[in-house]
Amino acid sequence: MFWYYLMPVIFVLGILGIAFEEQIKINKTATALLMCVLLWSILLIDTNLALVTEGFQTWLKAASQVSPDSLEPSDYLAFKLNHHLGDVSSTLFFVLCSMVLVNTIDNYGGFKSVAEVVVTDNKRQLLWRVALASFFFSAFLDNLAAAIVIIAVLRRLVPDQTDRMKYACLSVIACNAGGSWSPIGDVTTLLLWNSGRITPYYQIFHLVIPAFFNMLVPTLLAHFFLFKKGAKLRKPSDVEEDELTSILPWHARFIVLGLGIASLMLVPIWQTFFDVPAFMGVIFGLVLVWIYTELMFSQHKKRLREASSLRMTELLNRSDLTTIFYFLGILMSVAALIEGGQLLQAAGHVSAAIPNTGILALLIGVLSSMLDNVALVAAVLGMYPLDTTGALTPFIINGSFWVFLAYCAVTGGSLLIIGSATGVTVMGLEGISFGYYLKRFSLLALAGYISGAIVYQLVTLIF
- What are the residue ranges spanned by the domains of the chain? 90-317
Give 229-285 pLDDT, tens digit per residue: 877 876 544 455 555 566 777 778 788 888 888 888 888 877 777 778 888 888 998
Tell me how far CA of residue 288 lies from CA of 283, 320, 374, in angstroms: 9, 21, 30
How far is Cα 246 from Cα 253, in angstroms, rounded to an integer? 10
Give 115-158 pLDDT, tens digit per residue: 777 778 888 999 999 999 999 989 887 888 888 888 878 887 88
Give 150-170 pLDDT, tens digit per residue: 887 888 788 888 888 999 999
Q: Which of the pair, 231 or 212, is modelled with greater confidence?
A: 212
- Average pLDDT estimate for 442-452: 95
Note the pLDDT of residue 330: 86
Nearest C-alpha neighbor of 322 from the set 36, 108, 92, 91: 92
Other C-beta atoms closer than 10 Å to the C-beta of 4 total 16
How far is Cα 312 from Cα 111, in angstroms, rounded to an integer? 18
- Average pLDDT estimate for 434-451: 92
Task: Check residue 241 and report its DSSP letter.
Answer: P
Note the pLDDT of residue 57: 53
Q: Which of 66-75, 263-272, 368-377 has the lowest mean pLDDT?
A: 66-75
Q: Are 337 and 55 in contact (CB under 8 A)?
A: no
3-state secondary structure of 141: coil
Task: For Cα atoms 384, 385, 388, give the angle at the middle one, nearest 5 degrees.
Answer: 130
**pLDDT greater than 60 at residue 305:** yes
Note the pLDDT of residue 246: 65
- Average pLDDT estimate for 331-336: 87
How far is Cα 83 from Cα 283, in angstroms, rounded to an integer? 21
Q: Which of the pair, 242 or 430, is modelled with greater confidence?
A: 430
**Hey, which of 99-108, 260-269, 330-339, 450-459 has the most confident mean pLDDT?**
450-459
Tell me how far CA of residue 225 lies from CA of 99, 230, 319, in angstroms: 35, 13, 39
Q: Are 54 and 29 in contact (CB under 8 A)?
A: no
Q: Which of the pair, 242 or 87, is modelled with greater confidence?
A: 87
- Average pLDDT estimate for 22-29: 84
In the beta sheet, which residues pair with residue 122?
A: 232
Do you know the residue count of the chain?
Answer: 463
Note the pLDDT of residue 68: 47
In the beta sheet, which residues pair with residue 232?
A: 122
Give 37-50 pLDDT, tens digit per residue: 999 988 888 766 55
- Average pLDDT estimate for 53-78: 58
- Average pLDDT estimate for 78-90: 83
pTM for the full predicted model: 0.79
Give 382-419 pLDDT, tens digit per residue: 888 888 776 668 888 999 999 999 999 999 989 988 78
Note the pLDDT of residue 119: 79
Give 290-303 pLDDT, tens digit per residue: 999 888 888 877 77
List, as one string, the DSSP characters of 244-302: HHHTS-HHHHHHHHHHHHHHHHTHHHHHHHH---HHHHHHHHHHHHHHHHHHHHHHTTT
